[in-house]
Amino acid sequence: MEKLYLNRKFVFIGFFLLTGFVIIVRLFYIQIVAEKYILSATNNVLRYITQYPARGLIYDRNGKLLVFNEAAYDMMVIPRQVQALDTAEFCRLLGIELTDFRSRLKEARRYSVYKPSVFESQINGENFGVLQEKLFLFPGFFVQPRTLRKYTYPTAAHTLGYVGEVSPGIIAGDPYYKAGDYIGISGIEKSYEQKLRGRKGMRIRVVDVHNRDMGSFQDGRYDTVSTQGTDLWSSIDVDLQLLGELLMQNKKGSIVAIEPSSGEILCMVSSPAYDPNLFVGRIRNTNFSLLAADSVDIPLFNRALMATYPPGSTFKTVNALVGLQEGVVTPGTRYSCPGGFALGNGQVVSCHNHAGPLDLEESIQYSCNTYYCKVFKSILDKDGFYNTEKAYNRWRNHILSFGLGRKIGLDLPSELSGNIPSSAYYDKYYGRNNWRSLTVISLAIGQGEILVTPVQLANLTATIANRGYYITPHVIKGVGEPTSVLRAFMEKHYCTVDPGYFEVVINGMEKVVQAGTATSARLDSVAICAKTGTAQNPHGDNHSVFIAFAPKENPRIAVSVIVENAGWGATWAAPIASLMIEQYLKGEVKRQEVKERMINGNLIRK
């Protein structure tokens, strides 16, 4: 009897457990599974509208707004819902041809007949108002709001960059992006895409058979809110940038200015340039094609980061520092200059007329080629005639420590590394142990195989201004708030030359402007330290090169200027650099005659 009671007890317990399980399964089905079926079944009357976040704003170093957002709209299409419509009227409203309508609809069907895709992008607010009134006449089409980038100033296009439609390759590798989304393509927009883009949201709307919006689905229960992108504060001084582009109009070349103490890039000019607003809205593709097709001026090419040049005589500053570090020259070392440095076999590295003999400071002041051929030869011959390669590698390591010959690592895409040739290169070209100091003597004066980018040249100048170190140049100084500091750009990178050797070189650079090769760069009440350069160009006239920093003590700006095919460094690059320094340090340019002469100079030969 007791056993029977026990069996009944287990039966009742099992019954209640089974009943409870059935109820739980049923509730799950009703609340989860069935609701998904309902959503799926009503897809033909529900419209899923992506809520695109506004991209983060971009400001200059003084809080001036550079990049903002403007409302725009994309015409979306769901091919399966497209029914008989007045295609002529539809094309008229959009301003497209009937052939365009057919090809776009065909392309949308190829993508998906059920999912929405972009039919016409970036419709402005004025045109949207007209479309909205008649949209119910066109089943299968709806408008999706989004934002367009706009630019307060027609400047800094290469630095700010632009946005464009995401490519299939990126879509395949990043689930965030869908067809029709926009992404940063170049400049800051690309480097800081994940900060700027924000987070997308979703709205689900109910539409009737006439394609009219009937309200949100279940009072917005399944809607998600978009989150605006993070604002960025750039290091760019927009007034300085505007002046730089004005001075470089009708010229090819670049200006890069850096604050030595922080590595913040104050301006980055690449000329010829273009107005970034040309890449906004429905005119973008047309304008991009026109600029890309310009093979003469190549306005899309960022010369500040991607063009490489011989540094010319500006490189003598580095060879002077390496010579001091290696102990082959002292501040009092004097060399005479008979008009050039003889290589033998009748070959001479020529030099211009100047007083002599010169000590180290004076060699920089008057830019003596002979002096630096002798210094460079002493560096490479230091270990003996048969140990050139060993001495060369030591020299090269010094040069690399200044940030030359490799990518600096700034926060912009497409940076090139330039070239400080390795000993292996010369071994391959001349044969092992078959080259000596005279074989590569052109490196003494910044010619030969040496190539630098303008940003590297500006960074070199900042390193000298800092007496031996640089902070990686960067264009963003604050993320989310203007006072934030990016940890990645706080480290000091020290070169291999002792800080004590810099003062004599800096004194020589000061004399360059006071009474040397660049008196055209002189500025009252400001001690400018500089070096001229004339970079030989095998494809045409020589390039005008100039580096400078100011003031001499506690420097606030270091600048490099390269004007292509412009000849002597003192003629064009030096006055342009001094005007940039004057604008930044004094807040205005008073030397209007010099300014007008630089602005009106047309050096582009077509």
Residue (of 90, 71, 77) closest to 211 by Cα position: 77
**CA 552 from centroid of its chain's CA atoms:** 29
Between 400 and 74, the more confident residue is: 400
87-94 helix and 125-134 helix, angle to the nearest 10 degrees:
160
Predicted local confidence at residue 568, as pLDDT:
81
Residue (of 552, 30, 544, 3) closest to 247 by Cα position: 544
Predicted local confidence at residue 40, as pLDDT:
46
Domains in the chain, ordered, with CATH?
48-233 (3.90.1310.10), 238-275+301-600 (3.40.710.10)
Contacts of the segment 105-110: beta carbons below 8 A, 24+ positions apart = 105/77, 105/79, 108/77, 108/79, 109/79
Cis amide linkage into residue 175, ω under 30° from 0: no
Predicted local confidence at residue 532, as pLDDT:
95
- Three-class secondary structure assignment of 270-323: EECCCCHHHHCHHHHHHHHHHHHCCCCCCCCCCHHHHCCECCHHHHHHHHHHHH
Predicted local confidence at residue 10, as pLDDT:
58
Confidence of residue 24 (pLDDT cuts 50, 70, 90): low
Confidence of residue 280 (pLDDT cuts 50, 70, 90): confident
Cα distance between residue 66 and residue 157, in whole Å: 11
- pLDDT at residue 14 tops 90: no
Percent of the chain with pLDDT over 90: 62
How many other C-beta atoms can be found within 10 angstroms of the C-beta atom of residue 510? 20
Cα distance between residue 166 and residue 500, in whole Å: 52
Which of 103-107, 108-112, 526-530, 592-596 comes out lowest in average pLDDT?
108-112
**Cβ-contact 467, 217 below 8 angstroms:** no
- pLDDT at residue 344 tops 90: no
Which H helix or E strand runs over 469? strand 469-471
At residue 8, φ and ψ (nearest 5 deg) are -65, -35
Q: Bridge-partner residues for 233, per DSSP?
A: 59, 478
**Cβ-contact 148, 52 below 8 angstroms:** no
Rounded to an integer, the average pLDDT of 352-369 is: 93
- pLDDT at residue 572 tops 90: yes
Residue whose pair of structure tokens reads 């350069």 in the numeric block: 533
Rounded to an integer, the average pLDDT of 274-290 is: 88
Cα distance between residue 102 and residue 98, in whole Å: 6
Residue 103: which residues within 8 A CB-CB, separation 6 or more?
none
**Cβ-contact 474, 484 below 8 angstroms:** no
Cα distance between residue 139 and residue 367, in whole Å: 75
Residue range 211-267, pLDDT digits in tens = 566 778 887 788 888 899 999 999 999 999 999 999 999 999 999 999 999 999 999
- pLDDT at residue 122 tops 90: no
In this structure, the chain runs to a length of 606
Cα distance between residue 369 and residue 371, in whole Å: 5
Predicted local confidence at residue 124, as pLDDT:
77
Which of 23-32, 137-146, 500-509, 574-583 comes out lowest in average pLDDT?
23-32
Residue (of 241, 107, 121) closest to 180 by Cα position: 121
Rounded to an integer, the average pLDDT of 96-120 is: 88
Q: Give the chain's mean pLDDT.
A: 89
